[in-house]
């Protein structure tokens, strides 16, 4: 199906593309939607898809035959087969009930255990209550600024062997934050550098992997990182030090921007807001 940009653009309050996630506002356009439809069902990654660093094949795919597209609403369903399967309905425009109905029908027909609807809200729009919400945030880079130059955080590979050895225990404690997975990737040598802060001869916080990717219009994107600090070491500025070290790394390695999704009101969200990131809007996820 060919999506009409003059129908879709007016109902897109957030620059967010199914299967790709948030994109830079200057990269948003009809070509991205044509691309995700073109590769649907192939398992192929688009060259600018950030997910390619974690897998050999693309799992989430658009269901082109089930797209509903009008001048006032566009519903784009996707299916992912990991686990017992997830059916996601990306809803642009009015009509949540219709979106939920279609998501439920498609989840049944594609035998997925989970169905969810994702809706989008502009930065200044009132948000629905009781729904999981993330904020899309944009950081654009210029030259590194003095506050970016953090000496408290540095690459894990530069630590002494005894301190480096404590990363495994740190990662195990922050498994739910993704660090056990990241540690496995680090051990396999498949990811970029990870930055850490230490205290008392052990790793107490980390951010990474530090990697960039060229986007669809040729700009360099600093890819999202895992960020975590051990609970007993929070509130001492370690998270801010890690963040600023990561931003300094991005600027030094030619990044033009970074996009993040943060849980609205959470610690990372508050940090990004305090650091002056630009809010591009909200993504709300309702499980059916």
Specify whether 13 is located in the same domain as 73: yes
Distance of CA 61 to the CA centre of its chain: 17
Specify whether 73 is located in the same domain as 175: no
Q: How far apart are CA 136 and CA 258, in angstroms?
A: 10
Per-residue pLDDT reduced to its tens digit, 160-178: 999 999 999 999 999 999 9
pLDDT at 135: 97
pLDDT band at 147 (very low <50, low <70, confident <90, very high): low
* pLDDT over threshold 70, residue 148: no
Answer yes or no: are the C-beta atoms of 207 and 177 closer than 8 Å: no
Specify whether 81 is located in the same domain as 192: no
Domain that holds residue 109: 5-136
Q: Which residues, at least 6 apart from 229, have a Cβ–Cβ distance to it below 8 Å?
A: 197, 204, 205, 238, 239, 242
Specify whether 122 is located in the same domain as 176: no
Q: What is the pTM of this model?
A: 0.92
Other Cβ atoms less than 10 A from the Cβ of 173: the count is: 14
Specify whether 127 is located in the same domain as 147: no
pLDDT band at 150 (very low <50, low <70, confident <90, very high): low
């Amino acid at each position: 199906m060919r999506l009409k940009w003059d129908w879709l653009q007016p109902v897109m309050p957030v620059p967010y593309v199914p299967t790709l996630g948030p994109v830079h506002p200057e990269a948003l356009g009809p070509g991205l939607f044509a691309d995700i439809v073109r590769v649907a069902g192939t398992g192929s990654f688009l060259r600018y898809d950030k997910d390619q660093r974690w897998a050999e094949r693309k799992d989430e795919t658009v269901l082109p035959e089930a797209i509903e597209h009008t001048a006032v609403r566009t519903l784009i369903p996707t299916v992912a087969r990991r686990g017992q399967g997830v059916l996601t309905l990306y809803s642009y425009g009015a009509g949540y009930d219709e979106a939920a109905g279609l998501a439920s029908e498609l989840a049944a027909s594609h035998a997925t255990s989970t169905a969810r609807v994702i809706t989008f809200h502009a930065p200044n729009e009132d948000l629905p209550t009781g729904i999981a919400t993330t904020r899309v945030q944009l950081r654009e880079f210029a030259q590194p600024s003095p506050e970016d130059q953090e000496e408290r955080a540095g690459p894990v590979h530069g630590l002494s062997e005894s301190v480096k050895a404590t990363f495994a225990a740190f990662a195990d404690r922050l498994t739910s934050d993704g660090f056990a997975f990241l540690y496995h990737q680090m051990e396999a040598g498949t990811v970029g550098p990870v930055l850490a802060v230490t205290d008392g001869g052990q790793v107490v916080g980390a951010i990474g992997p530090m990697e960039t990717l060229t986007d669809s219009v040729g700009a360099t994107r600093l890819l999202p990182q895992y960020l975590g600090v051990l609970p007993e070491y929070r509130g001492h500025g370690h998270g801010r030090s890690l963040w600023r070290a990561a931003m300094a790394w991005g600027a030094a390695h030619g990044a033009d921007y970074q996009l993040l999704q943060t849980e609205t009101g959470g610690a990372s969200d508050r940090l990004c807001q305090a650091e002056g990131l630009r809010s591009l809007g909200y993504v709300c996820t309702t499980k059916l």
